[in-house]
C-alpha cells in the first residue's frame, strides 16, 4: 500500500459544559484531522487536539506547520509499515510529536481496515470492553465539587479526577476534604494540579490531607520539582505533563519518582508510543491511564482501543472529552460514556466512519 495523498482538516469542537484547570479554561478547542489517502479505496484517519496553547507545548498552529513538513515526505510511503513511517518522520524533523502522532493513529486505522481487525485486537486484544474511564470534577467551590462528585458516582463513575491549583492552596485543601468525604468505597480519587503548585505548596496540601486517600497528579511545573516534592508527600505521585517521552517515563519508574502516569497518547507518539508505555508500565507494575488532551471521535477511539488493552488492575482509565463537547463525527459508533464505562467501537481499524465532507475543504493537501 502507498500513501497517495494527505489531507489536513481543521475543526472547531464546541463545548457544552465548562472545564477548567489551574492554568487555563478550555474553550472550543481547535482540532486537526489528518486523512491518509492510499492507492486503495481505504483512508486512514488521525487527529490531534490540544486544549489550546496551555497547558501543552504544542498548539493547532504549530501542529499544522509540522504537518506541512511531514506531509510531502510521506507521499509514496507504505502506511502499513508503521515503524518505517516513523523513520521517515524522524528523518524529516526533530520534535513535532503531535503531528507525528496523528499520522501514527491514521496508519493504525489503515492497518486494522486492511486486516479487518479492530486496533485493540492488533495490539493484543481487549482486556476490558467496555473500558473504565475517569471523570473530571473541575475547579469549583468545596460544596459544588462534592455535589458533582456525588452525582458522578450515582451515574456509575468509579474514578474521579478533581482539578486543583491556580488559587490559594487553602481553597484547594477545603475542596479536597469536601470531595474525599463523599467518595464511596471502591471509588478512586485523583487530585490533578496540572503543574499549579510550588514544591512547598504540594507538600503543604499533602500534609493537610494526609489521612485522605487519593493520588496526587502533576503537582508541580517540572520533573525536577515533582521529584523534590516526592520524598515529602504522603500520597502516591502521578506524572502527566512531565512524562514527555519513554526514556523519562522509564527513569521516573526506576528512580521511584512516579507511582503512576496520566498519559497523553499524542504526547508520546500516538498508538505506537502508548503501546510502549503500556508494556513498560505492565512490566514494572505501574498504573497508567490512556488519555489525550482533547479531541473528537478519532482521538477518543484511539484512546479507548489502547485503553482496552491495559492490564485492568493497572488501568487508571481511558479518558475522552465527549461529555464536554457537542456532537460526534460518527453518531453511531463515536465513543461515549455510559455508567462510567466506554464501549470499544466494533468495526475494523478505529471503528469510526467519517462521512466525506464532514470537515469541509482541507486546509492543506499533499500529493
Ligand atoms: Mg493530568
Distance 189 CA to ligand 1 centre (A): 13
Distance 155 CA to ligand 1 centre (A): 22
The pLDDT tens digits for 130-177 are: 999 999 999 999 999 999 999 999 999 999 999 999 999 999 999 999
Q: 122-342 — its CATH code?
A: 3.20.20.120
11 catalytic, yes or no? Answer: no
The fraction of the chain above a pLDDT of 70, given in percent, is 99
SS3 at position 109: helix
* CA–CA distances in Å: residue 83 to residues 74, 86, 103, 141, 310: 13, 5, 12, 48, 22
For position 138, what pLDDT does the model report? 92
The fraction of the chain above a pLDDT of 90, given in percent, is 92
Tell me the pLDDT of the chain averaged across its residues. 96
Which secondary-structure segment (H or E) carries 215?
Answer: strand 215-217
Distance 342 CA to ligand 1 centre (A): 19
Q: Residue 177 in contact with residue 212, Cβ under 8 Å?
A: yes
The rounded distance, in Å, linking the Cα atoms of 106 and 108 is: 5
Q: Where are the domains of the chain?
A: 3-116+355-366, 122-342
Active-site residue, selected from the candidate residues 113, 163, 181, 213 = 163
For position 52, what pLDDT does the model report? 77
Q: Which fold has domain 3-116+355-366?
A: Enolase-like; domain 1 (3.30.390)
Distance 191 CA to ligand 1 centre (A): 9
The pLDDT tens digits for 54-99 are: 767 789 999 999 999 999 999 999 999 999 999 999 999 999 999 9
Active-site residue, selected from the candidate residues 11, 113, 159, 264 = 264
Q: Is the pLDDT of residue 355 over 70?
A: yes
The rounded distance, in Å, linking the Cα atoms of 194 and 22 is: 6
Whole-prediction pTM: 0.96
The rounded distance, in Å, linking the Cα atoms of 108 and 298 is: 11
159 catalytic, yes or no? Answer: no
Mean pLDDT of 316-329: 92
Q: Is the pLDDT of residue 23 over 70?
A: no
Distance 161 CA to ligand 1 centre (A): 8
Amino acid at each position: 500500500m502507498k500513501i497517495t495523498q494527505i489531507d489536513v482538516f481543521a475543526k472547531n469542537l464546541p463545548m457544552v459544559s465548562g472545564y477548567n484547570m489551574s492554568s487555563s479554561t478550555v474553550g472550543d478547542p481547535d482540532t486537526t484531522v489528518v486523512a491518509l489517502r492510499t492507492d486503495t479505496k481505504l483512508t486512514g484517519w488521525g487527529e490531534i487536539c490540544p486544549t489550546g496553547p496551555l497547558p501543552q507545548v504544542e498548539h493547532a498552529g504549530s501542529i499544522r506547520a509540522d504537518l506541512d513538513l511531514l506531509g510531502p515526505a510521506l507521499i509514496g510511503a507504505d502506511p502499513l509499515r508503521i515503524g518505517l513511517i516513523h523513520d521517515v518522520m524522524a528523518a524529516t524533523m526533530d520534535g513535532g510529536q503531535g503531528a507525528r502522532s496523528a499520522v501514527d493513529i491514521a496508519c493504525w486505522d489503515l492497518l486494522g481496515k486492511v486486516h479487518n481487525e479492530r486496533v485493540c485486537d492488533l495490539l493484543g486484544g481487549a482486556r476490558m470492553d467496555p473500558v473504565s474511564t475517569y471523570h473530571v470534577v473541575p475547579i469549583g467551590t468545596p460544596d459544588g465539587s462534592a455535589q458533582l462528585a456525588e452525582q458522578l458516582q450515582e451515574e456509575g463513575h468509579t474514578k474521579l479526577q478533581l482539578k486543583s491549583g491556580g488559587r490559594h492552596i487553602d481553597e484547594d485543601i477545603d475542596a479536597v476534604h469536601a470531595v474525599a468525604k463523599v467518595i464511596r468505597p471502591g471509588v478512586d480519587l485523583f487530585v490533578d494540579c496540572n503543574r499549579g503548585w510550588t514544591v512547598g505548596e504540594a507538600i503543604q496540601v499533602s500534609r493537610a490531607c494526609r489521612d485522605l486517600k487519593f493520588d496526587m497528579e502533576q503537582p508541580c511545573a517540572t520533573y525536577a520539582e515533582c521529584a523534590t516534592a516526592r520524598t515529602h508527600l504522603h500520597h502516591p505521585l502521578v506524572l502527566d505533563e512531565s512524562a514527555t517521552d519513554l526514556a523519562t517515563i522509564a527513569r521516573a519508574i526506576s528512580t521511584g519518582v512516579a507511582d503512576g502516569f496520566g498519559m497523553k497518547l499524542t504526547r508520546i507518539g500516538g498508538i505506537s508510543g502508548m503501546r510502549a508505555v503500556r508494556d513498560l508500565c505492565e512490566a514494572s507494575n505501574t498504573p497508567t491511564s490512556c488519555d489525550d488532551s482533547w479531541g473528537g471521535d478519532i482521538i477518543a477511539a484511539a484512546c479507548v482501543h489502547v485503553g482496552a488493552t491495559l492490564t485492568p488492575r493497572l488501568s487508571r482509565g481511558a479518558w475522552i472529552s465527549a461529555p464536554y463537547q457537542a456532537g460526534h463525527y460518527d453518531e453511531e459508533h463515536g465513543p461515549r460514556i455510559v455508567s462510567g464505562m466506554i464501549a470499544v467501537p466494533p468495526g475494523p481499524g478505529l471503528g469510526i466512519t467519517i462521512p466525506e465532507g464532514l470537515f469541509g475543504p482541507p486546509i492543506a493537501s499533499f500529493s
